[in-house]
Structure 1
C-alpha cells in the first residue's frame, strides 16, 4: 500500500509538471544579429500621459536614447512639441539618426506649433534625415486629404529633406492623391489590428507592402510602423503574446535585411498611456517594457512567462497535504479511484494558482482587477464543490467494500418485537389518496403497532371527515385526530402525536400521506433497534404511477439518484439525511431531544442532525419498502425543493457552529463533512444566479461602454465551462453506475435537476435573509396543466433564459465571432442559460399528455382514416418506452 501510495503521488506530481511545461514551452525563432534600422520612439515614462499634459524631461529622454545607442540606427518621433523637440539634439549626441514627426489633429493652433518646431529642427540638425507630417490623421478623420496636402506643401517648401505623412497601407490605396505631395510613402503594417493570426502576420505584411509598391512604383516606401504586441486581448485571429512578438520581430528583421527594406519597428518602449485609446494591446508594442527592461533578446529561446516554474511548484505544495491525507485515510478505494481523486486535487490546486497569478502575468484594468478579485474566491468555492463531488464519485465508483452496508433484517424466531406507533400527518389531502395509504398500513405483517392519523388544519369537512370515518372502519389500531388552528405545521402535528402515543410504543414511524408501504416494512427494519446506539432507521423514498408520463419519469429518476448515490455515500460515515417518510425513530431518543422542531420546515433533517450530535447511529437500508406519488406539476416540484432548501438554510443558521472543526457538538468529522458539503451545490446554485445577473450587467457594459468594460479573462471563463461539464458528467456517470435506469432516463433526470437551479437559488437567499417562511405542502393531486400554464410555471426561468440568449447574440453581433473573447463570453452566457432552459423543458414536459392519452389520440385518428394501419402499428411500437 505504501509503495502504491508513493507511486500515485509521484505520478500525479510528474503529470502536473509535464502539463505546465507543455503550456509553457519556449519558442526558438530565427536569430537576428544585425543592427535594427530604426524604432518608433515615444519616451513617456510610467505615469506620464500626453492627455494629462505630463511629459518626459530632457534627462529622461536622453536616458532612453542611451538604451538605444548601438542597438538601433535611428528613431522616429511623432511630435515636435511639449519637450519632444529636444530629441534631435539629444539623439545626435548618441549617434542616432532621426526621422522627425509633427503631430497633427483638429487643433489648428497646435498644428502650426508642431510644424514650426519640425521645420526648425529639420533645418538645424543634420541627423534629421527626413520628416513625417502627421500620423494617421486622415485615418482618424482629424484632417481631410485636402487639408493634409496643404500642410505637406507648406513643409516641403520650408525644409531641404524628404517629406511624407504616415498612414496605414490601405489609406494610401484609398486616397492615392496624397502621394502627389510627398517625397516618399510612409505606411503602417500592423497585422494585429487587422485580426491576422500571428503565423500569417509576416506574409500578410509583405503582401500589403507589395500592393502599395505596385500602386506607387516611382515612390520610395518607408515602413513607418511594423510590429506585434506582447500582451492584450485577441483581435479576431490575432493573439498577442511575448513569444509571438519575438518570433514576428526576428523573422521580419531577417526579411528586411535580405530585401533591403526601410523600416521602423513599432516601438522602442511600452507606453502605458495608450490604454485609453488603444486598450490593453496598445501598451504592449515595445521591445522594452515600461520599466525599460528588454522583453527578449534577438538570439536564443523565448519564454512567455519567465517564472512559470514557480507556479507548478506552488501548486504541488498546495495539493501535497490534502493528497497525503486522502491517500492515507481512503485506503479502501481501488488504485484507479485514489489516482483519480489525487489528480483532481492537484488539478484544482494548479487552477487556483494559475488564476491567482494572473495579475502578475497580464495587465488588467481597474475593472479587470475588480472582476479578478471577485471571481478568484468564487472559483475557489466552485472548486470546493467539484472536490466534494469528485470524492463522492471516487467512493461510489471505486470503493473496495462498503463499511456500513445494511440489508432488510427479519426478526429471529425468539426475538420480541417492540410496539411501533406510526404517525401520519396530513393536510388537505384527497381522501382517496389517504385511504390508499391507510390500506397499506392495515396490511402490515407486524404483530404490534398503532396508526395515528393527524389531520393538521384541514378546513373543509368533506376532505377530512371521510378519512376519520375510514379510520373507524379499519379498527382500534387506527386513531384519527382533527387539529383545527394548530400551530407548528407538520412538526406541530407530529409533536401532538407524541402526546397521544401508546405508552408501550418504543419506536415511532413517520410516513407521508401518499405512501403505500409494503407489508414487510416494520418486520424488516425494527429489529435494528436491538442495538441501543441506533437512533433511527431510514429507508429510501420511491414512487409509483410515473410510468408513461414524461414529466413524472424525469423527476422520479431525479429523486432516485439521491437515494441510490448520495444517501449510500453519506451512510458510509453515519451521516445520512433523515427524511420525514419511511423513517423509524427510537421514541426515547425523540422525546429526550424535545420532539420535532417547529421552527424548522425541514423538521426531519434537523432531528436527524440532533440525534447524531447526541451520539446515536443511523441505519440506512437501501431497499424499497413503500411508494409515494411524485408532484403532479412543475410548480409543485419546485415548491417541494424550495422547502427542502429553505429548511436546510434554517438548519445551517441555527447549527452552523456545530459544523466547525474542533467544535464539541458531538458530530463526528465525517458527519460535519457531509452536512457542510452536502449543501454546497445549493450555494453553488445561488452563486449561479448572482453570476447570471452579473453577466447580463457586464454584457450591457461591454456593449454600451467598451472603454470601461473588458471581457473577463479567459482563464476564468474556460474553467467555468469545464466545471459545468464536470458537474454534468459527474451526474451521468454516477447514474450509469448506480441507478437502474436507461441512459435517456438519466439525461431526463439531469434536466429535471438542473431545472431546479433557480428555485434553489431563491430559497438560499430567502433562507439567508428571512427567518420564517410558511410551510409549503407538496400538492399531489392536481390536474395536469395546460400548455400556457406550463410557461407560467417557468415564468422567471424562461425570461432569464431569454435575457442570456439575447446577451450572447448581442455580443456576437457587436464584436463578431472572429473575436475569441467575444465567442467565449457568448458561449459562457449560453451555458449560464442551460439551467433556465432546463426549467422550461421540464415544465413543458409536464404539459405533455401521458402515454395512454397519446395512444388514444392516435387510435382516434387512425379510426378516422387519418393514418394507415402500418403507421399505427409503428407508432404503437415506438411508444413502449417511458422516456427517451
Structure 2
C-alpha cells in the first residue's frame, strides 16, 4: 500500500513538473503607451447585426470605459444597428472615432450607411475620418453579377472580354468604379478624410482607387497569407514599405493588423494567445518607432463571427467577457496555465485513487496505471481549456458535448485495457488459475457427473466422434444425456440413437421435436433425464471431443462446497483447415488465455456452454436454465455468481471442437453472442447496482468493464464512424465545424492502446506465431460492425431466434459476406481522401480528422479482406505452400547463379614485386 501510494505521488509530482516545464514564458517588447487605434464592434455574445441585432448604449459605455485607457481612437465598420451611438459616447471618454459605412450589394442599405456617416461627421467633432466600405472590392460585393442592371458603359466594357480571367478583371474594375463614385459622393458632403478599407493587394492593383481617397487604408493580415507568427511583423513592415514606394507622397495607414488567439491554422499560421500577444506587442512597438499609423483589429472578441474560418471570433485583445488576454509589459505567459494544471492534477489524483485499492500491485504496474490516469487528467484539463477558451453556438456546443460523451466510454475502455496490460506485463502471476495438472489423491471421492450434450441438426458423424470421446473419459462415475431436438430428419438422429445403444447404458438418447426454448430448452429436458445421484452437470457442445483427463482433473475442485462451477477453455481441432480458420482459432484463443484468466482472479469468469462443469445444487438454486436470453450459459453462470458461488477457470485445453464453416457463420456466431450479451446486460444491470446481490465490488467491476469493453467499444466505434462520415461534407463543402484535436486525438490514442493491448498480451499469454497473431487481429477487428449491429438489435427487440453456427460441413462458400462493411469502409476512405484533397488551407485538424477516418475504416476493411480472402485461392494451405516452394526455388536458383558467377571469374593477380602477370 505504501509503495503504491508513493508511486501515485511520484507520478503526480512528475506530472506537475511537466506542467512547470511546459509553461511558456516568452520575452516580447514592452508597450506602456496608448494604441493608435483599435477596431470596435459594439455587439456582445452571439448578437449578429446581420440578423437584426442592435447595440445598446449602456453596454457601449461600459466597453469604452475599459478601452479608453488602452487606445486613442476607435474604428467602426457600420453606422447603423446601434453602432451610430459610438461616436457620441466615445466623446465622453476623449476618444476619436473613424466611422465606417458598410457597403455590400444592397443599394438601399448602402444609401442608409452613407447618409449615417455623413450625419455623424457633422454632429460629432471627434469623428476624424470615414471609411466607405470594408474590403468591398476583395469580397466582390460591387462587381456586376448575372442579372444585374448595367449602365451602357459597363455593358460595353464586359462585351470586350476575351477570356474568363479578363472578364473577372473587368468586373472588378467596374466594382472599383462604383465604389469610387460612392467615395466621391461622401467626400462632397463632409470635411473629414474619406477612404475605404481594402487588403493591400487591391491598393496595388488599382491606382485609380488610390487617387480617389484621402489616404490609403490597407489591411495587412499575414495570418490570411499563411505566414508564421515569427514572420508576421516583418511581413507587415515589408508590405507597408511596398505601398509607400508604390505611391510616394500618399499617406498610408495600416487600417487592420492583428492575429487570432484561437481557431484553426491557415497553412503555417497558427493562432494562439501567446502568439497573439508577442505579435501585437512587437508590431505596435515597431510601428510607434517607425511612425506608422495603425489600427489593431480588434478590441473585443466577436463570437458571432463564426463564418471566418474558425478564427473569426478570436481577433480581440479582450475576450467576450471583456477580460484582457495578455499584458502589454513583462514576459508573455498563458494566464490560464496554472488553472489548467490544477484541473489536470486534480482529475489525475481522483483517477489514481482506485490504484490504492489494488492488492499486491507492483511498482511498474502502479506506475503504468498512474501514468494513464495522469494522461487522462491532462486531456480533461485540455478539454476544459477548450470549452473555456472558445465560443459556441448551440450546434457547436451540442457537437462538442456529443463528442465528449462518446469519448468517455472509449477512454474508460482504454484505461481498462491499460490496466490489463499492467497486470499481465508487470503484475503478479495469476493466483486462482487452476494448475495444469492438479494432484489427485487415490482415496479422493469421485462424485457422479452427468454430461449433457444438446444437439440441433448436427452431422451424425461429428456427434458420434463427440460421444466416443466421452466414452473414453478416464473417470469411473459419469453418465451422458444426449438431447437431439427439433431434428425431424431420421437420417440425422437415428444413427445417434443406435450409437448410444452401442456405447452402453451410461449413454441416454432423448429425441424431442417441437421443443421450445432453444438450447436452454434442450438442457432443461436433459435435466429431467439426469440420474438422481448426479451431483455435477457437465455441458459440452455436439462438436467437442474431450480429452480423457477432463473429469479426472477438474472434479476434485468440487470438494470445496463453495465451488459451483469450473470452466475450461474452448479450443478447436480444425484450425489448420484453411488460413481463415487459423485466423478464427487464434482470435478465439486470446479471450481464453488473456481475458478469462484475468477475470478468474476476481471470481468473475464468463460461462460458456461447453467444457463447463456445474454443481447441480447450484443450478437449482439459481433457477436453472433460462430461455429469456440466447446466451443461456453466460446468463446462468452470472446467476450462480450472484448467489455467491465460487467459480474456477483453467486455461488447459480439455476439449476441441470445430470452427465455424465460413466467415458468415463466424459472424453469425459473434452476432448471437453479442445480442445475447446485451440481453444479459438488460436482465442483470439492476443486480450490478443493487446491494442485495452477493456479487462483490470487483465482480461487478469486471462484468461492467467487460460489457463496456466488448459491446461498448464496438458499438461506440461504429456510431462515431458513421457520425464522422456524415460530418465530412460539412467540412469539405461548407468549410465549418472542423472537429478539434481535443476530440480526434483521443480516438487515435484509443486505437494505439488497443493495438498495444492486443500485441503485448498475445505475445505474453497466447502461444501462437507472429503471423497467426496478425491474422487474429484482423479477425478480431472484422466483427466490429457485427457486434454493433447486434447491440442495435438488442435496443430494438427483446428476443431474436437462436441461430445455429454451421460447423463440420466442410463446405466452401463463395458468397461475399461483408457488403455493409465494404460500404462503410469505402465511405470512410473516400471521406479521408476528399478531406485531404480539399484542405487547401492545410488545416492541421483536418489532416488529423482524415487520419481518424482511415483508422476507423480498418475494422471494416478487415471484414472486407477476410470476406475476399475466403473466396480466393489463397485460403488454401496447399496453394500457399506451392507459392512458398516456388519462391524458395527461385531464391535457390539465384544463389546458385551468383555463386557460379563468382567461381568462374578470371583470377588475374599482378605481382608487383616481380613485375609478372600470374594467371
Aligned mates of 2:825, 2:94 — CA distance in 1: 65
**Is the alpha carbon distance of 1:372 and 1:78 closer, same or farther for their aligned partners in structure 2, counting shifts above 3 Å?**
closer
- Describe how 1:34-73 pairs up with structure 2 within 5 A: 34-46=33-45, 49-56=48-55, 61=60, 64-69=63-68, 71-73=70-72
Return the match for 1:289 from 309, 316, 319.
319
Aligned mates of 1:433, 1:491 — CA distance in 2: 21
1:718 aligns with 2:745: yes
| Long gaps (5+) in structure 1 | 876-884
Moved more, 598-607 or 200-209: 200-209
Aligned mates of 2:791, 2:228 — CA distance in 1: 46
Q: CA deviation at 1:614?
A: 2.5
Q: 1:507 touches 1:587 (CA, 8 Å); kept in 2? A: yes
1:512 aligns with 2:512: no
**Is the alpha carbon distance of 1:204 and 1:521 closer, same or farther for their aligned partners in structure 2, counting shifts above 3 Å?**
same
**Is the alpha carbon distance of 1:456 and 1:816 closer, same or farther for their aligned partners in structure 2, counting shifts above 3 Å?**
farther
Number of equivalenced pairs: 860
Return the match for 2:288 from 251, 257, 260.
257
Q: 1:410 touches 1:527 (CA, 8 Å); kept in 2? A: no
The corresponding residue for 2:418 is: 390
Aligned mates of 1:317, 1:129 — CA distance in 2: 53
- Describe how 1:574-585 pairs up with structure 2 within 5 A: 574-585=603-614
- Describe how 1:454-469 pairs up with structure 2 within 5 A: 454-469=483-498
The corresponding residue for 2:197 is: 166
Return the match for 2:526 from 491, 497, 506.
497
- Describe how 1:634-645 pairs up with structure 2 within 5 A: 634-645=663-674
The corresponding residue for 2:792 is: 765
The corresponding residue for 2:17 is: 18
Q: CA deviation at 1:129?
A: 4.7
Aligned mates of 1:94, 1:663 — CA distance in 2: 68
The corresponding residue for 1:596 is: 625
Q: CA deviation at 1:126?
A: 6.2
Q: CA deviation at 1:507?
A: 2.1
Q: CA deviation at 1:353?
A: 4.7
Q: CA deviation at 1:162?
A: 4.3
Return the match for 1:146 from 170, 177, 189.
177
Moved more, 95-104 or 216-225: 95-104
Q: 1:69 touches 1:96 (CA, 8 Å); kept in 2? A: yes
The corresponding residue for 1:624 is: 653
Moved more, 747-756 or 816-825: 816-825
Aligned mates of 1:81, 1:663 — CA distance in 2: 66
Aligned mates of 2:71, 2:116 — CA distance in 1: 25
3-state DSSP class of the match of 1:37? Answer: coil
Give the TM-score normalised by the residue count of structure 1: 0.90
Q: 1:784 touches 1:847 (CA, 8 Å); kept in 2? A: no
Aligned mates of 2:854, 2:765 — CA distance in 1: 30
Q: 2:410 touches 2:716 (CA, 8 Å); kept in 1? A: no
C-alpha distance after superposition, 1:314-358 (max 9, x if no partner): 44444435534422x323222100111122233334433543454
Return the match for 1:842 from 845, 855, 866.
866
C-alpha distance after superposition, 1:776-798 (max 9, x if no partner): 211113455455x2xx3111111
Aligned mates of 1:356, 1:290 — CA distance in 2: 17
**Is the alpha carbon distance of 1:199 and 1:632 closer, same or farther for their aligned partners in structure 2, counting shifts above 3 Å?**
farther
Return the match for 1:732 from 759, 763, 777.
759
Return the match for 1:451 from 466, 473, 480.
480
3-state DSSP class of the match of 2:388? Answer: helix
Q: CA deviation at 1:678?
A: 1.2
Q: 1:352 touches 1:380 (CA, 8 Å); kept in 2? A: no
Q: 1:227 touches 1:249 (CA, 8 Å); kept in 2? A: yes
The corresponding residue for 1:878 is: none
Aligned mates of 2:524, 2:577 — CA distance in 1: 39
Aligned mates of 1:748, 1:361 — CA distance in 2: 45
Q: 1:356 touches 1:376 (CA, 8 Å); kept in 2? A: no
Q: CA deviation at 1:62?
A: 5.3
1:587 aligns with 2:611: no
3-state DSSP class of the match of 1:543? Answer: coil
Aligned mates of 2:442, 2:808 — CA distance in 1: 42
Moved more, 106-115 or 227-236: 106-115
**Is the alpha carbon distance of 1:171 and 1:521 closer, same or farther for their aligned partners in structure 2, counting shifts above 3 Å?**
same
3-state DSSP class of the match of 1:679? Answer: helix
C-alpha distance after superposition, 1:581-615 (max 9, x if no partner): 11122223334434322222111111211222232
**Is the alpha carbon distance of 1:405 and 1:116 closer, same or farther for their aligned partners in structure 2, counting shifts above 3 Å?**
closer
The corresponding residue for 1:882 is: none
The corresponding residue for 2:372 is: 344
Moved more, 385-394 or 121-130: 121-130
3-state DSSP class of the match of 1:434? Answer: helix
**Is the alpha carbon distance of 1:874 and 1:444 closer, same or farther for their aligned partners in structure 2, counting shifts above 3 Å?**
farther
Aligned mates of 1:616, 1:123 — CA distance in 2: 92
C-alpha distance after superposition, 1:234-289 (max 9, x if no partner): 334333222121111011112212332221111223334434x4365222222233
**Is the alpha carbon distance of 1:159 and 1:11 closer, same or farther for their aligned partners in structure 2, counting shifts above 3 Å?**
same
The corresponding residue for 1:798 is: 822
Say what the alpha-carbon RMSD is for the aligned residues: 2.9
Q: 2:12 touches 2:348 (CA, 8 Å); kept in 1? A: no
- Describe how 1:385-424 pairs up with structure 2 within 5 A: 385-407=413-435, 408-424=437-453
The corresponding residue for 1:191 is: 222
1:379 aligns with 2:407: yes
Q: CA deviation at 1:691?
A: 1.8
| Long gaps (5+) in structure 2 | 143-174, 896-919
Q: CA deviation at 1:574?
A: 1.4
C-alpha distance after superposition, 1:663-694 (max 9, x if no partner): 22122222222222211121222222222222
The corresponding residue for 2:842 is: 818
Q: CA deviation at 1:121?
A: 5.4
Q: 2:4 touches 2:361 (CA, 8 Å); kept in 1? A: no
C-alpha distance after superposition, 1:210-231 (max 9, x if no partner): 4434443453321110101223
Moved more, 354-363 or 456-465: 354-363
Aligned mates of 2:747, 2:451 — CA distance in 1: 48
Q: CA deviation at 1:113?
A: 4.1
3-state DSSP class of the match of 1:663? Answer: coil
Q: 2:54 touches 2:82 (CA, 8 Å); kept in 1? A: yes
Aligned mates of 1:773, 1:872 — CA distance in 2: 58
3-state DSSP class of the match of 2:298? Answer: coil
3-state DSSP class of the match of 1:629? Answer: coil
Q: CA deviation at 1:569?
A: 0.6
The corresponding residue for 2:243 is: 212
The corresponding residue for 1:880 is: none
- Describe how 1:538-549 pairs up with structure 2 within 5 A: 538-547=567-576, 549=578
**Is the alpha carbon distance of 1:21 and 1:698 closer, same or farther for their aligned partners in structure 2, counting shifts above 3 Å?**
farther
